[in-house]
Amino acid sequence: MGLELALKPYRRRFVQPLHTAHGPWVWREGLLIRLRDGLGRWGYGEVAPIPWFGSETMAEALAFCRAQGGEWHGQKVPAALPATQFGLESALADLTGQSAGHEPAIPADSFANAAICGLLPAGAAVLEIAPQRLAQGHRTLKWKIGVHPIADEIAWLEQWVKTLPSEARLRLDANGGLSLAQAEHWLAACDRLNANLHLATVEYLEQPLPPDQLTAMIALGHRYQTAIALDESVATVAQLENCWQQGWRGVCVVKPAIAGSPQRLEAFCQQHQPHLVFSSVFETGVGRRAALAIAARCSPAPAPALGFGTQGWLDDDWDTLTPAELWDRL
């Protein structure tokens, strides 16, 4: 006998539209899943796709889930639906783990923030917002680059690091938007800053070049001291495995909610022990809980700050709800 499969689509508005390479992101759409077995045990999961990051669309996820006719027999979810794989597999893990959504979804205090990377807006606003993130307890900060002229951005970075405590760590995320010459320019600037031990550290430059330029990024990794992290290149476990096969041994940012099967991800981690940094896709507490559980099992030691600094970015109080409360709310 299968499990009862119930679905609740959701839509949440960002407080301010998010600036992405594909235009403004105004609404976060996704799907909560609830599985129930014959004993009345529940398990919650979440499908939170980002189609422009290589996952299925919301419509594709919904069509697949609805086609199951309200029952789940553990059948294979197609590889083209990685966010759906994550949602169904984590709902099943939740059910069998009997952690049916009663604990608070997200601890949000300055102690927890020390382990979480704080997000910063692009541009000169970083100088204004970074002190707020530090005051909230964040010690690792992420700044989007490749948005303004490179000379301006590097000048802001140089000005900014002088205001930071030396233990602060910075992640500069280019979203694959730099040319090779610009990437070299950035890495040289980061190496200069990192040579000064009294200043904050640039932990890595994230996805300097587009995903199809892996060989060039491997070469850059050998030429500069500052680490490079892949993000867009490793959106799914299959892509992560592929980059590994092609020789990448640097940092990889993994977003479990769109990466595909959690079991396959964990098997890859156990086999190769890659240097992974785990990150959110603005999922609700349901997906976040499952993603953080994977992060806890697969992060290298000492664990790098988690890319889950998404609290307060959506215009609702869902982050304060347990999965069961959120389910009832929808």
Options 165-173, 254-262, 295-303, 311-319: segment touching Mg ion (CB under 5 A): 165-173
Contact criterion met (CB below 8 Å) for 231 and 207: yes
| Min dist. Cβ of residue 171 to Mg ion (A) | 8
| Min dist. Cβ of residue 215 to Mg ion (A) | 20
**43-72 residues near Mg ion, rule: CB under 5 A:** none
* Contact with Mg ion (CB under 5 A) among 46, 89, 173, 283: 173
| Min dist. Cβ of residue 162 to Mg ion (A) | 25
Nearer to Mg ion (CB atom), residue 61 or residue 234: 234
Residue nearest to Mg ion (CB): 231
Tell me the helices (H) and strands (E) count for the chain, helix number first.
Answer: 12, 11
Q: Which residue has the tokens 């000169």?
A: 124
Measured distance CA(222)–CA(217) in Å, rounded? 9
| Min dist. Cβ of residue 173 to Mg ion (A) | 4
Nearer to Mg ion (CB atom), residue 43 or residue 177: 177
Site string for Mg ion, 240-279 (x = CB under 5 A): ----------------------------------------
Options 39-47, 166-174, 185-193, 309-317: segment touching Mg ion (CB under 5 A): 166-174
Active site annotation includes 142: no
Q: Which residue has the tokens 């190769």?
A: 272
Measured distance CA(68)–CA(85) in Å, rounded? 14
Strand 169-173 vs strand 140-144: parallel, antiparallel, or unpaired?
A: parallel
Nearer to Mg ion (CB atom), residue 94 or residue 232: 232
| Min dist. Cβ of residue 172 to Mg ion (A) | 10
Nearer to Mg ion (CB atom), residue 208 or residue 285: 208
Active site annotation includes 76: no
Tokens at residue 327, please?
A: 């389910």
Measured distance CA(24)–CA(17) in Å, rounded? 6
Nearer to Mg ion (CB atom), residue 46 or residue 232: 232
Measured distance CA(173)–CA(146) in Å, rounded? 8
Measured distance CA(14)–CA(197) in Å, rounded? 38
Nearer to Mg ion (CB atom), residue 206 or residue 319: 206
Nearer to Mg ion (CB atom), residue 117 or residue 269: 117
Measured distance CA(73)–CA(65) in Å, rounded? 12
Site string for Mg ion, 192-221 (x = CB under 5 A): --------------x---------------
Binding residues for Mg ion, how many (CB under 5 A)?
Answer: 3
Q: What strands lie across the sheet with 227-230, from one edge to the other? A: 117-120, 140-144, 169-173, 201-206, 227-230, 251-254, 276-278
Measured distance CA(234)–CA(253) in Å, rounded? 7
Contact criterion met (CB below 8 Å) for 164 and 199: yes
| Min dist. Cβ of residue 253 to Mg ion (A) | 6
Measured distance CA(294)–CA(261) in Å, rounded? 11
Measured distance CA(277)–CA(169) in Å, rounded? 14
* Contact with Mg ion (CB under 5 A) among 231, 292, 306, 323: 231
* Of 8, 76, 144, 162, catalytic: 144
Residue 208, Cβ neighbours under 10 Å: how many?
Answer: 29
Residues near Mg ion (CB under 5 A)? 173, 206, 231
- The catalytic site residues sit at 144, 255
